[in-house]
Amino acid sequence: DTAVSQTPKYLVTQMGNDKSIKCEQNLGHDTMYWYKQDSKKFLKIMFSYNNKELIINETVPNRFSPKSPDKAHLNLHINSLELGDSAVYFCASSPIDGLNSPLHFGNGTRLTVT
Partner 1 sequence: AQSVTQLDSHVSVSEGTPVLLRCNYSSSYSPSLFWYVQHPNKGLQLLLKYTSAATLVKGINGFEAEFKKSETSFHLTKPSAHMSDAAEYFCVVSEVDTGRRALTFGSGTRLQVQP
Contacts of 18 (CB under 8 A, 6+ apart): 77, 78, 79, 80, 81
- The distance of closest approach from Cβ of residue 81 to partner 1 in the complex, given in angstroms and rounded to an integer, is 22
Stretch that binds partner 1, among 20-28, 60-68, 70-78, 98-106 (CB under 8 A): 98-106
30 lines the binding site for partner 1 (CB under 8 A): no
Helix, strand counts (H, E) of the chain: 0, 11
Q: Which residues, numbered 36-95, are part of the site for partner 1 (CB under 8 A)?
A: 40-45, 55-56, 90, 92
Of residues 28 and 102, the one with the C-beta less far from partner 1:
102
Of residues 22 and 108, the one with the C-beta less far from partner 1:
108
Nearest residue to 6 via CA among 110, 113, 83: 110
Binding string, residues 10-29; x marks residues near partner 1 by CB under 8 A: --------------------
The count of residues in the chain is 114
Phi/psi for 79 (5° steps) reads: -95, 155
